[in-house]
Amino acid sequence: MNRPEGQHPGRIYFDNAATTPVHPEVIRVMSEALAGNFGNPSSIHAEGRAARAAIEQARKTVARCLNASVGEIFFTSGGTESNNMALKCAVRDLGVRRIISSPLEHHCVLHSLESLEKYQQIRVDRLQPDALGRFDTGQLRALLAADSAPTLVSLMYANNEIGTMIDLDEVAEICAEAGAWFHSDTVQTIGYFPIDLAKTRVSFLSGSAHKFHGPKGVGFVYISGDNQIRPFIDGGSQERNMRAGTENLPSILGMAKALELAYAEMDARRDAILDIRDYFLGELTDRFEGISVNGDCENGHYKILSVEFPPSPKTDLLLFNLDIAGISVSGGSACSSGADAGSHVIAGIKPDSPGKTVRFSFSHFNTRAEADAVVEKLSEILKAKKAVG
């Protein structure tokens, strides 16, 4: 399947963990909303009522996908806001005094925790990851048992740099047994893995439309019905008084359409992405000496492949040279030099790694032909050939 027409033709986009191309159906729904559904959802006249009805329909779609109730879904500006809201409201409104998390979380969680530590005197305990970025649930249980302070556990479902995943059900069970709240940053997994919130007892989770072929700047936070929190943004009574501001109607409708499509095509998309990822990894392994995969590739998120190339002067400008050649990927290495701030995730699992990490991340719009072209270009740039025989 080719990328939607008009979205940077001729380039190869292997950076789908950063963001995804917008699905043509989503563009259609958003264009129609922009052109024809301009009312303010808080107005009581016909235009306002049409806008309100469309938003509530979108909420139903999101709730249905997650098996949540509509009253538990709040629209936000994206994953960053959703995670900030969950963590900060849990402290302010639920009385959380300790948070157990990890050093591998996304910056919006890491920096929220730093702020809560510094300004709210919240204690933050961090689980120690292993070399693949996994956590020991024994350590989690021990930490929960060691302190009776009201506790929230915050662990991302899939890591955005290396793809390593937690067992969401197991962590949810452990938290429930210990009487702790559980927040999971599910930004990379919503639309890729089914989540049944009637079975999995999560207090908060977050979604961001642009990670599943929707628009940027819109997302949602799920807050389970038994947690009463106060408004995160003060103002009007939008989002049942929790998040003031006139709703971004076209984006909310676009997100609901993107999620609906992601659920309808989840298995087919996963198979297509896995086919490309495994093919690409096979070709890389055949062609390059000394590469290694970061994270728990086998059990992790299928769209993310983080590869460490051995150190060499040729890898220094690798991302730049790939970009010039029309190929988009992301970086991330343990060391920091100059403008490259380094990756806290790679540093957290492989502190002494001298290599150059490239994150390739795929979507169902990618093809094997693109994988071939990327391997060819990498061979040209690195001039690395594995000895035959």
Ligand X SMILES: Cc1ncc(COP(=O)(O)O)c(C=O)c1O
List interacting residues with ligand X (CB under 6 A).
Answer: 78-80, 83, 106, 108, 156, 160, 185, 187-188, 208, 219
Q: How far apart are the first and last CA of the chain?
A: 36
SS3 356: strand
Nearer to ligand X, 52 or 213 (CB): 213
Residue nearest to ligand X (CB): 79
Nearer to ligand X, 39 or 79 (CB): 79
Nearer to ligand X, 51 or 255 (CB): 255
User: Does residue 297 carry a catalytic annotation?
Assistant: no
Catalytic residue among 89, 108, 297, 335: 335
Return d(Cα 352, Cα 346) in angstroms, integer.
9
Consecutive H or E run containing 89: helix 79-94
Give Cα 118 to chain centroid, integer Å.
26
- CB 116 → ligand X: shortest distance, Å? 17
Instruction: For the beta carbon of residue 100, count every other beta carbon within 10 angstroms.
Output: 23
Phi, psi of 333 (to 5 degrees): -135, 165
- CB 210 → ligand X: shortest distance, Å? 6
Q: Which amino acid is residue 247, in one-letter code?
A: E
Is the torsion defined by CA of 342, 347, 353, 359 positive or negative?
negative
Asked if residues 182 and 175 have their Cβ atoms less than 8 Å apart, the reply is yes
- CB 30 → ligand X: shortest distance, Å? 17
- CB 83 → ligand X: shortest distance, Å? 6
Beta strands in the chain (DSSP E): 12-13, 73-76, 98-101, 123-126, 151-154, 181-184, 204-208, 219-223, 292-294, 304-309, 327-328, 356-361
- CB 335 → ligand X: shortest distance, Å? 22
Nearer to ligand X, 15 or 47 (CB): 15
- CB 320 → ligand X: shortest distance, Å? 21
| Among 336, 353, 385, CA closest to 133 | 353
Nearer to ligand X, 249 or 378 (CB): 249
- CB 119 → ligand X: shortest distance, Å? 21
Asked if residues 279 and 370 have their Cβ atoms less than 8 Å apart, the reply is no
Asked if residues 360 and 280 have their Cβ atoms less than 8 Å apart, the reply is yes
Phi, psi of 204 (to 5 degrees): -140, 140
Nearer to ligand X, 39 or 78 (CB): 78
Return d(Cα 47, Cα 52) in angstroms, integer.
9
Cα dihedral 273, 314, 310, 297, rounded to 10, equals -10
**Which residues face 222 on adjacent strands?**
73, 205
Which residues are part of the catalytic machinery? Answer: 335
